[in-house]
Amino acid sequence: MALSLLLVACGNDKPNYNSVDDYPVRQGSLDEMVYSPKATEFSVWSPNAEQVTLNIYSDALTDEALERIPMKRKKDGTWTAKINRDLNGLFYTFAVYDTNAVFPMEETPGIFAKAVGINGKRAAILDLKTTDPENWQDDKRPYFGERQDAIVYEMHHRDFSIDPSAGIAHAGKFLALTERGTTNKAGQPTGIDHLKQLGITHVQILPSYDFGSIDERGASEEARVLESGAAVGGSYNWGYDPINYNVPEGSYSTDPYAPACRIIEMKQLIQALHEAGIRVVMDVVYNHTYDVAHSAFTQTAPGYFYRTRSDGSLANGSGCGNETASNRPMMRRFILESVRYWVEEYHIDGFRFDLMGIHDIETMRAVRAMLDEIDPTILLYGEGWAAEQPQYAQELLAMKANICQMPGIGAFCDDMRDALRGPFYDDKQGAFLAGLPGFEESIRFGLVGCINHPQIDMQKVNYSKEAWTQEPYQCISYVSCHDDMMLTDRLKASIKLKEGEMQRLDKLAQTVVLTSQGTPFLWNGEEVMRDKKGVHNSFCSPDSVNAINWDLKTENKDLFDYYCRLVALRKAHPAFHLGTAENVVEHLEFLPAGDCVVAFRLKELRDIDEWQEIVAVFNAQPQEVTFTLPEGEYRKVLNNGVFEESDAKYTESVTLAPQTATILYR
């Protein structure tokens, strides 16, 4: 049948729109496939299409469709079709015909596929209830306290478990974090038992949705890439290249060909972490897609979901070739419904928004409001910046400087990060840890959680010239993360280290992070002195660079024990996470100190902490420093890189060991 006759036969008169901003908003849920044994309903939003065809396939790879069914247009721009028989186990795509499309139109699984076949090209028809692990209905979020009590550990599935030293059977897979009793050669816990021993409250997993840079057909192969950067076989990638936002990544499953497998196994991972008392934060990348031409956004509503420059070219706030338009109603709805879906279907406990500064404030507020209705303890934070200036008004974007306009939403603190180890743009430049003066005020700013504190001289802070949080927990305190050098590599690159200095400076840096009033954030492997052979951006480096070696040397084991004690100290003493700006201003006081020394006390802690007062001093100088104590009688709990308590009492001064933190209490 000719296309024109088909359009008439289906009654699909195409409306005329002056621009994509005139498109109607879809009514009801964005679900594109609703299955039941008796009938399956399909729908896709494509307001400018002349025709949309539903294609049914027997599997994910066969070329020939079983059926090609014309869909019917609704007034809100949604196209629908219904098949009255059991389609369980089959696959589908949508084919949109839009003569105004810039890119060639091709079949797509749609923007809200919830199950897909190999490499995510076709969506799968299945009953999601069959993907629930045993006792999934009893899975609950572990209690950890209030938002200010969170301690986040960022990890990549493959890094964490792929090395043979981990002793994990399902290396590099979702199921790696379901194995208990795994150890290294020395019998020290690895995997989920390692996390439990460390004591963190949340694991933030790098992107776990279906992404485009790995060919799932070779997911079990050694990670590698071509010189061009293209993926080959089981190539390594962090996953910041979204294809299907609402489906787990197949290369992390034991069978990427089976649509249900990846869903079941990711749920099992979350269930296992919950049983271990650990919540799960998901890294989400709604700010850009793997590409534009082949994305489901383009293949269903060309030109709508992306921002463009005045000349019509694609905006590039992500630095990846495109940026999505969260300010448009349907993109905002997509983000909201996607986040809700991960919470309700997968029991996710928090979200880290990649390049959150590309999204508009209104969208991020809406996400927070929705999560508050479900559970206010669900974390929400992100990167308060963009790679390039987005094509949207700066004052309306979810940038770090605008966090005060977004209650309950956090952002990463580059102020304290760079004051500790040196600027992101120059790996060879040191800062406080290198014994360089002038960074003390920026560290103090980070220690109070970037609130407005009367003792902070904002003119001396490196980046921010005014407070950017309402409450201290909105500040994500860290010294390194995935898209950066490991702390060990950074110290090697920026300081001519002498014997013992690496370990001392590592401990000093993380003591600042874990005693700050912000939300502490650790990158996997930091606790065992991991390095990445000096590679800064290791997003596609092989396992030989990214894998963590769990066969710990003596100094690595000592460092891990220190991290464990540091985490335990923070959890045991609410004074280190007071929760409100008012409490921090009232109870945290900075003490006089010289160059490369930062000191504070937490005072008047009755009814807050079992200790009446706490003094913390950070000495980055390569020599001993004598520090004058406030009036009172103190005992040391941390001295010279060692946690210990003795009967010794200090009333006037204390000697600070070089490049270490000292903590005292009374």
E strands in 350-465: 350-353, 379-382, 410-412
573 within 8 A of 514, measured Cβ to Cβ: no
Phi, psi of 448, deg, nearest 5:
-90, 5
d(CA 621, CA 594): 10
* Tokens read off for 566: 């540091």
Q: Give the SS3 label for residue 357.
A: helix
48 within 8 A of 330, measured Cβ to Cβ: no
Phi, psi of 286, deg, nearest 5:
-85, -5
What are the catalytic residues? 354, 383
CA-nearest of 332, 333, 344, 297 to 30 is 333
Query: What are the angstrom distances between the C-alpha of 626 and each of 217, 593, 648?
Result: 62, 10, 17
| 303: Cβ contacts below 8 Å, ≥ 6 apart | 20, 100, 101, 102
380 within 8 A of 351, measured Cβ to Cβ: yes
Query: What are the angstrom distances between the C-alpha of 273 and each of 153, 193, 341, 442?
Result: 13, 10, 19, 35
Helix ranges restricted to H, 549-612: 554-572, 581-587
**What is the secondary structure of 49-82 as a DSSP string?**
-SEEEEEEESSSS-SS-SEEEE-EE-TTSEEEEE
Q: How many CB atoms lie within 10 A of CB 499?
A: 6
290 within 8 A of 212, measured Cβ to Cβ: yes
Query: What are the angstrom distances between the C-alpha of 449 and each of 223, 391, 456, 480?
Result: 39, 30, 11, 17
- Tokens 């296992």 appear where? 272
DSSP 319: S
Q: How many helices (H) and strands (E) does the chain have?
A: 14, 26
- Tokens 């994910």 appear where? 60
* Tokens read off for 652: 């006037």
Q: Which helix (H) or strand (E) holds 514?
A: helix 501-515
